[in-house]
Amino acid sequence: MDPFNLLIIVTTILVLYFSLEVLLRDRVTKYVDKVPGPIKLPVFGTTWPLLFIPKSAMFFVVKTVLRRYGPVVRTWLGNVPVVHCIEPETVEVILNNSTQISKSKMYKIAHPWLGEGLLTSTGEKWHRHRKIITPTFHFKILENFVDIFVEKSQKLVEVLKDKADGDIFNLYPYITRCTLDIICETAMGVKINALDDPENEYIKSIYGITKLTMKRLTTPWLHPDFIFYKSTYGKEYNKYLTTLHNFTKQVIQDRKKTYKSDHLHSLSTSKDEDIGIKKRQAFLDLFIEMSNKENALTDEEIREQVDTFMFEGHDTTTAAINWTLFLLGNHQDIQDKVYEEVNQVFQNYENLTINSLNDLKLLERCCKEALRLYPSVPFIGRKLIEDIKLKEYLIPAGCTISIQMVTLHRNPNVFPKPNKFDPDRFLPENTKNRHPYAYVPFSAGPRNCIGQKFAIYEEKIILAYILKNYRIISTQTEKTIKPMMELILRPKDGLFIKLEPRV
């Protein structure tokens, strides 16, 4: 082909491409701008007021602004439209839709670390992996992890003895190390002893890559790969990434060799009595068994799922436990009632079991109410695959949808006195007529959190052991604490408390 004809073809393709892009953008703009929302400026979109407030104030600003324009709100992140759902009826339209399961572009920032695990994948791959992995969260398998939850909780109580002297300290890192110990052993079958050795390279890499992922997420100019990986942040990120991936890959290889040499049989999930017979099996072992039986997952796919469990399985639970303790430390009357309940359960059981956890009803209500006020995941982002209707507005395909749990959970029409800590909101008589999508701390619908039972069991056991042994006294209040709205909702500077030993 001569150069002139090639130039004509390339030019035609480029003109058609950019014309189509403009048409699509014009269509999106046409419909999105019909949705109420803040004033939009060129370049900055509607985010320009955020330039003048600290990140620690966004938690309160977002709630106020979205409630002012709701129930469907439009914002522009530069030239990217985002439509926010803050009421149960609109949230249900998105979350209860088996087609609209694609995560927003925001999640791509986690791809180098997590690949296409359950958190970040979509389409056929997500459906296939979800179907494969769901049996590993069977009740009888989770029951075998309770011993690990108890063991690590007892270790945490022991480590905290040195802090129970009336001095103020930051509890957050201690809870993080405990949940890291739990998820490493349950996900990979490996002990990393984070409570004893916080300088462990794997632990430091988990901390480091999580921090840098959040930094990149909240710094728009670091989003392009060619900028990020040339920066100091990107080079540090790659160092942590290499450590984490090498560690997980080595563990997978070691566990596969053990599986082969011991002639382990495939785990049958067809009969209840066959499930969970092998003690102390990690999720990784179950993945390997399924892959040997059905060729279900490649080594790389197993690595993606294990790394996803490592991220989701410690950070979200850590936040939930800390927020619960923060609230109980500010409401001593409720803490006293929880302590009485915990003491009663421990009189009947030497160590906690899944059955005994069912008796911790007030503690569970406190956990749920803490997740209402401070959801570990403050928002969910979805990218629309098809046009949808939200109230009277048509929202076009290609738009980003944000489910704002922080605003949803404090809806005064659903939760009277929404800023008040009141665990009795979750008494059966108070929840029976509540809209099922008014409270979604673990998401809902087809893409709900696969590990929510695991998280609830872990959270209740850690909290029960702490509260049995110590009184928590918060030195921060709900007016002075600074929640940071990132991928995880965490207190800006940690959780500062005093510990008093129980007599």
- 226-279 tens-digit pLDDT: 999 999 999 999 999 999 999 999 999 988 888 777 644 444 444 444 444 445
Q: Answer whether residue 339 shows pLDDT above 50.
A: yes
Q: Answer whether residue 19 shows pLDDT above 50.
A: no
- 342-393 tens-digit pLDDT: 999 998 777 788 888 999 999 999 999 999 999 999 999 999 989 999 999 9
Residue 44 has a pLDDT of: 76
- Domains and their CATH numbers in the chain: 54-501 (1.10.630.10)
- 472-485 tens-digit pLDDT: 999 999 999 999 88
Instruction: Return the bridge partners of 501, or none.
Output: 470
- Residue 386 DSSP class: S
- 40-81 tens-digit pLDDT: 887 778 877 766 777 777 777 777 888 888 789 998 877 788
Residue 20 has a pLDDT of: 46
Residue 4 has a pLDDT of: 61
Question: 6 pLDDT band (50/70/90 cuts)?
Answer: low
For 90-104, 206-220, 460-474, which range has the lowest pLDDT when averaged over its residues?
206-220
Per the listing, tokens 């695991």 go with 454
271 vs 280, higher pLDDT: 280
Residues with Cβ < 8 Å from 167, sequence gap 6 or more?
498
Q: Answer whether residue 7 shows pLDDT above 70.
A: no
Question: 8 pLDDT band (50/70/90 cuts)?
Answer: low
1 vs 298, higher pLDDT: 298
Residue 149 has a pLDDT of: 94
Give the mean model confidence (pLDDT) for residues 132-145. Answer: 83
CB-CB contact of 317 with 451 (8 Å): no
- Residue 276 DSSP class: T
25 vs 161, higher pLDDT: 161
Residue 268 has a pLDDT of: 43
Give the mean model confidence (pLDDT) for residues 324-339. Answer: 98
Look at the alpha carbons of 314, 344, 142, 145 in this order and tell me if their dihedral is positive or negative: positive
For 73-89, the DSSP string reads: EEEEETTEEEEEE-SHH
- Alpha-carbon torsion angle 360, 363, 368, 374, nearest 10: -150
- Between CA 29 and CA 27 the distance in angstroms is 5
- What the block records as the tokens of 13 is 């393709």
Give the mean model confidence (pLDDT) for residues 148-176. Answer: 94
